[in-house]
Amino acid sequence: MQRQVALIKQSLLDQGYLDEQFMELEELQDDANPNFVEEVATLYFKDSARLINNIDQALERGSFDFNRLDNYMHQFKGSSTSIGASKVKTECTMFREYCRAGNAEGCLRTFKQLKKEHATLRKKLEQYFQLARQAGPKETARRPK
């Protein structure tokens, strides 16, 4: 079953949902902190849900305070980077570029895509962690080639 877990992780990496940084987090996991990555992921999704909500509200109001939106996104990008959420990070970057260009339509479009990527990642990681827990404690994380 551990191989199944490894394969799922590899496919998340191959498809670009996650990047190297996710593996860096796994390096921080050990016997004393066996669920560290899942804990961080939980924290990330809690924080990012709040940020998404803030941005949604700001966009709904119709007044595009690009500075404020950029600030939110700067934060969002930061935590997405820390967890290795590659596709989400890309959307964050794009959103910020639209903010700097003052392009409201671009922001709305990108944000829609961002929410989609975010939801997909959340689902996939939930599946991954559930399986990982079932599979039991791993041997030392090995880097796939």
State the residues that interact with other proteins by CB under 8 A. Answer: 20-21, 24-25, 27-28, 30, 33, 36, 39-40, 43-44, 46-47, 71-72, 74-75, 78-79, 81-84
- Of the pair 37, 132, the CB lying nearest other proteins is at 37
Nearer to other proteins, 23 or 109 (CB): 23
- How many whole angstroms separate alpha carbon 66 and alpha carbon 93? 14
Closest CB to other proteins among residues 66, 109: 66
Return the residue matching tokens 């599946």. 127
CB 69 within 8 A of CB 58: yes
Closer of 24 and 56 to other proteins (Cβ): 24
Q: What is the DSSP letter of 18?
A: B
Please report the DSSP string for 83-115 in residue order.
HTBHHHHHHHHHHHHHHHHT-HHHHHHHHHHHH
CB of 89 to other proteins, least distance (A): 10
Minimum Å gap between C-beta 57 and other proteins is 16
Closest distance of CB 75 from other proteins, Å: 5
- The residue behind tokens 């939801």 is 119
What is the nearest approach in angstroms of other proteins to the Cβ of residue 4? Answer: 25
Asked whether 1 and 131 are in contact (CB, 8 A), the reply is yes
